[in-house]
Amino acid sequence: MPGSLRSRVRNVFLPVNASNVAAMWQERFGMDPEAFSGLQFFKKASSIWAISEADLPRLSYESLGMRIISCKDRPWKPTTAALQVFGRHAAKNLVHLEESQAMLFLQGAGQLLPEYCDSSICEPGYVVVFYRGDVLGCGLYSHGKLVSQIPKERRIESSSGDQL
Amino acid sequence: MDPLDRYREIIPDFEAFRAVQSLPLYSSARINTLKISRGALLERLEEASVPHQCFSWYPLGLKLDVESPGKLLENLLGFIHIQEELSMAPPLVLDARPGETVLDMCASPGSKTTQISQMMENRGLVVANEPSLARIAALRSNCERLGALNVAITRYDGRMFPRGSFDRVLVDAPCSSEGRERRGPGTLTRCNAARSRELHVLQAGLLKSALRLARPGGVVVYSTCTYAPEENELVVQEAIEGYESGQSGRPALRLERVGLQGLLECPGITEWEGRAFFADMDKTARYYPHINDTGGFFIARIVKE
């Protein structure tokens, strides 16, 4: 049946070398590869997934652990879910927000942050966004502007006041 | 007719049980130790002046006195998960350990899946099965928000789940949800014995499949949020009988007593409408809203020898 064949193709997860994945995060965010120990990695379509090391029974899977990277466009994009887990290990390309800025970010908005323009602080591209020591998620920073990459279902409505 | 009336003989202090149905249930949440410690989370709530109270029976459960707990930053960051109080009980009865292989047969939206994952400290594997594609999005979203890294999602009809030899299997079955009336007033209007008998067929199929998929020595937990014996004791009775009448030489099954310290349970019933069940059926647990000021739940724990 063409239907079941399609679904089988859609659900193919191919193993990915752990050191290659760790190297990507080390290059962009200065992360110690140790941050990813105990995990195994898979690629499906244009995404990379991370799941705890364990024997996987022979089943057809919809997802394996957490989707951590989207390779759909260049450069690769870290997911907000992954940054909330691994982002605290990042040593570069970090942005720290004040309360009102964090609120805008969580609403999914863009904002000007000229103070990060110096490329020795922040290279253009995807960044780890912090508020009071917590990772909020992924942002895209270029030309002094930070654009929130928080997925729609995890944003705060703009009507919910200006306090976190 | 009152759909609860047929339980007059089996539910203690029936009038109080009937009266509590119209009292709304408070909001509650579970602290997600995959992302934050209990101490740090409680400190945050204090600092942000979020009114809360810890459950007496489960240190990671909280009552929250806020209008929209889902909008708390702590929820968006995955430090807490909004979850009904008694929904936290089945994973504790399942009692999964780090490194084990566990099947959550009816997983979406993943409240129990992620609680199991946190009890396993993200080690080992939770196979979270959900037959409905539409419901998989919520399951995935909750697993990712909560930082569950040991969960793999499958989409099978649980009754025909192809293979496995799981240390533990949870069947939190689709049910008539009578125990949710305090959360969603009007739920009861859709409940009656005929509907429960229909659901029974699906539930017994799921539990039989779970008994097949557990390894020898493994544990199967069956739970619902309903009172109907057709969806509870009758399902357990039929699944065990069906399993035991199957191939010879299969490992025996044993019902184990369900009890959680600090939470009062009533024993499962041992007969209904003239039909007698295994004497051990009184080891299953019925949780009633007027006794613990909660919703309602049924939990059975079966060990495969």
- For the segment B53-102, what is each residue's pLDDT rounded down to a tens digit? 999 999 999 999 999 999 999 999 999 999 999 999 999 999 999 999 99
R_g of chain A computed on alpha carbons: 18
Q: How far apart are CA A137 and CA A153, in angstroms?
A: 13
Does A54 sit within 8 Å of B148, measured CB to CB?
no
Q: Is the pLDDT of residue A4 over 50?
A: no
* Cβ neighbours for B238, distance < 8 A, ≥ 6 positions apart: B200, B204
Give yes or no for B164 touching A (CB within 8 A).
yes
Which among A80, A76, A85 is positioned nearest to A31, based on CA atoms? A85
Q: Determine the distance in angstroms separating the CA of B297 from the nearest CA of chain A, rounded to an integer.
A: 29
- For the segment B106-117, what is each residue's pLDDT rounded down to a tens digit? 999 999 999 999
Domain assignment of residue A49, yes or no:
yes
Q: Are A16 and A73 members of one domain?
A: yes
**ipTM, two decimals:** 0.94
Domain assignment of residue A161, yes or no:
no
**Rounded mean pLDDT of chain A?**
91
Does B162 sit within 8 Å of A39, measured CB to CB?
no
Active site amino acids of B? 225
- For the segment B181-234, what is each residue's pLDDT rounded down to a tens digit? 999 889 999 999 999 999 999 999 999 999 999 999 999 999 999 999 999 999
Q: How far apart are CA B103 and CA B164, in angstroms?
A: 9
What pLDDT, on a 0 to 100 scale, did the predictor assign at position A1?
40
Interface test with B, best of A4, A53, A59, A130 (most B CBs within 10 A): A59
Does B73 sit within 8 Å of A55, measured CB to CB?
no
Domain with A136 in it: what CATH number?
2.30.130.10
Does B71 sit within 8 Å of A59, measured CB to CB?
no
- For the segment B256-303, what is each residue's pLDDT rounded down to a tens digit? 999 999 999 999 999 999 999 999 999 999 999 999 999 999 999 999
Return the domain boundaries, chain B: 5-25+85-304, 26-83
Q: Are A77 and A24 members of one domain?
A: yes
Which residues does chain B have within 8 Å of residue A63's beta carbon, measured at their own beta carbons?
A: 136, 140, 143, 152-153
In this complex, the residue of A51, A81, A135 whose CB is nearest that of residue B152 is A51
Specify the DSSP element, H or E, that contains B220.
strand B214-224
Q: Determine the distance in angstroms separating the CA of B174 from the nearest CA of chain A, rounded to an integer.
A: 21
**Residue A156: pLDDT band with limits 50, 70, 90:** confident
Which residues does chain A have within 8 Å of residue B162's beta carbon, measured at their own beta carbons?
A: 59
What pLDDT, on a 0 to 100 scale, did the predictor assign at position B13?
98
The three-class DSSP label of residue A3 is: helix
Do residues B28 and B53 touch, judged by C-beta distance below 8 A?
A: no
What pLDDT, on a 0 to 100 scale, did the predictor assign at position B18?
97
Does A54 sit within 8 Å of B125, measured CB to CB?
yes
Tell me which residue range forms the domain holding A99: 93-154
Q: How far apart are CA B120 and CA B168, in angstroms?
A: 12
Q: Is the pLDDT of residue A109 over 70?
A: yes
**Residue A9: pLDDT band with limits 50, 70, 90:** low
Domain with A65 in it: what CATH number?
3.10.450.720
The tokens of A29 are what? 């965010």
CATH of domain B26-83: 3.30.70.1170
What average pLDDT does range A48-74 have in this prediction?
Answer: 96
Do residues B114 and B146 touch, judged by C-beta distance below 8 A?
A: yes
Do residues B82 and B134 touch, judged by C-beta distance below 8 A?
A: no
Q: How far apart are CA B143 and CA B136, in angstroms?
A: 11
Asked, as a colleague might, if the bond just before A75 is cis with ω within 30 of 0, I would say yes
CATH of domain B5-25+85-304: 3.40.50.150
Q: Which residues pair with A129 in a beta bridge?
A: A95, A137
Number of Cβ within a 10 Å radius of residue B87: 22
What pLDDT, on a 0 to 100 scale, did the predictor assign at position B251?
84
> Among A87, A121, A140, which residue terminates a domain?
A87
What pLDDT, on a 0 to 100 scale, did the predictor assign at position A118?
79
